[in-house]
Amino acid sequence: MPGNGLWRTKSIEQSIKDTDEPETRLRRNLSAWDLTVFGVAVVIGAGIFTLTARTAGDYAGPSVSLAFVFAAIACGLAALCYAEFASTVPVAGSAYTFSYATFGEFMAWVIGWDLVLELAVGAAAVAKGWSVYLETVLGYLFGTGTKTTFSLGGVDVDWGALLLVVVLATVLAVGTKLSSRVSMVITAVKVLIVLFVIVLGIFYVKGANYSPFIPPTAGSGSGESGVNQSLFSLIAGGASSSFGAFGLLAGASLVFFAFIGFDIVATTAEETKNPQRSVPRGIFGSLAIVTVLYVAVSLVVVGMVPYTELATKAGDGSHKTLATAFSANGVDWAANVISVGALAGLTTVVMVLMLGQVRVLFAMSRDGLLPRKLARTGRNGTPARATILVGVLVAAAATFFPADKLEEMVNVGTLFAFVLVSAGVLVLRRTHPDLPRAFRVPWVPVLPVLAILACVWLMLNLTVLTWLRFVVWMVVGVVIYFAYSRRHSLLGKRISEDQVG
What is the predicted pLDDT for the residue at 183?
A: 66
- How far is 152 from 166, CA to CA, in rounded Å? 20
Following DSSP, what letter does each residue of 74-98 receive, concatenated? HHHHHHHHHHHHHHHS--TTTHHHH
Parent domain of 451: 5-500
- How far is 182 from 195, CA to CA, in rounded Å? 20
What is the predicted pLDDT for the residue at 4?
A: 55
Q: Would you state the torsion angle of the CA atoms of residues 125, 127, 129, 135, taken in this order, to the nearest 10 degrees?
A: -150
Burial label, 326 (beta-carbon count in 10 A; 0-12, 13-18, 19+): buried
Which residues does residue 151 pair with via DSSP β-bridges, in sequence order? 156
What is the predicted pLDDT for the residue at 489?
A: 93
What is the predicted pLDDT for the residue at 218?
A: 67
Q: Residue 13's Cα: distance from chain center in Å?
A: 29
| Angle ∠(17,22,26) on CA atoms, nearest 5 | 75
Which residues lie below 8 Å from residue 208, measured CB to CB, with a gap of 6+?
A: none
- Residue-level pLDDT, tens digit, the chain, 501 residues: 455 567 888 887 787 787 777 666 666 667 777 777 777 877 787 667 777 888 898 888 999 999 999 999 998 899 889 888 877 777 766 778 888 888 889 999 998 998 888 888 889 888 988 887 788 788 777 776 678 888 888 788 899 999 999 999 988 887 655 556 666 777 788 888 889 999 999 999 999 999 999 998 865 444 455 566 666 667 766 555 678 888 888 888 888 877 876 677 766 666 777 777 787 888 888 888 888 999 999 999 999 999 988 887 544 445 567 878 888 898 888 888 888 888 877 887 888 789 889 888 988 999 999 999 988 877 667 788 899 999 999 999 888 877 555 667 778 888 888 898 899 899 989 988 888 887 788 899 999 999 999 999 888 888 888 899 899 999 999 999 999 999 999 998 888 877 765
- How far is 54 from 405, CA to CA, in rounded Å? 13
- Torsional sign, CA 19, 20, 25, 30: positive
Residue in 353, 158, 388 with CA at minimum distance from that of residue 261? 353
N- to C-terminal Cα separation, the chain? 15
How does strand 155-158 pair with strand 149-152? Answer: antiparallel
Domain count for the chain? 1
- Torsional sign, CA 101, 102, 103, 104: positive
DSSP-derived 3-state class of residue 378: coil
Whether residue 362 contacts residue 386, with contact meaning beta carbons closer than 8 Å, is answered with: yes
156 phi, psi to nearest 5 deg: -75, 125
What is the predicted pLDDT for the residue at 204?
A: 95
- How far is 44 from 345, CA to CA, in rounded Å? 7
What is the predicted pLDDT for the residue at 305?
A: 93
What is the predicted pLDDT for the residue at 250?
A: 82
The single-letter code of the amino acid at 64 is: V
What is the predicted pLDDT for the residue at 116?
A: 82
CATH number for position 262: 1.20.1740.10
Angle between helices 32-43 and 176-202 (to 10 degrees): 50
